[in-house]
Amino acid sequence: MKTVKDLLLAMINATLILVALCLFLLWQVSKSGERIAESFASGLTVLAPVEQSVDGLRKEVSDLRTDLAELTNGQFILTDAAVSRLEMTSARLDRAMTGLEDRMAELSAKPEKLTDYAIDKTASRAATELQTLLQCRAPEA
């Protein structure tokens, strides 16, 4: 009878130790998730100055177009080829900035995309590392 009682106590102790270990690991994983989310949240606040610089570049392109229009209508003489090259360049810059601005707005509106991407990458790396660990074997004598 004493052996059965000792066996039951040992099983309960082992179960409690496993539960405590699982809770500890869950706590560590949740802390890692929170750190990743905070990192991306701070990363999103970094986008604000970039967005301001894009707005500044957009204003510069607009000013460039205004200057080109004044040059073509004013006293200065520019060749038509030079004007068309400048206009094509300003249009290309404007399209690039519009695309960049749209992408930043999309990322700012949906920060969970960044978080989901980071979590997926972290999970795949962890799975790869665990797979490597599972393949470890003791050397045979």
Q: What is the tens place of the pLDDT at every residue in 17-31?
A: 988 888 888 888 877
Question: Which pLDDT belongs to residue 42?
Answer: 66
The pair of structure tokens assigned to 15 is 């179960």
Residue 7: pLDDT above 70?
A: yes
Q: Is 67 left (phi over 0), alpha (psi -120 to 50) or beta?
A: alpha
Residue 67: pLDDT above 80?
A: no
CB < 8 Å & 24+ apart, contacts of 106-112:
107/44, 107/47, 108/44, 108/47, 108/51, 111/40, 111/41, 111/44
pTM value is: 0.39
At 19-64, the pLDDT tens digits run: 888 888 888 887 777 777 777 666 666 566 667 777 777 777 777 7
User: Domain locations in the chain?
Assistant: 33-134
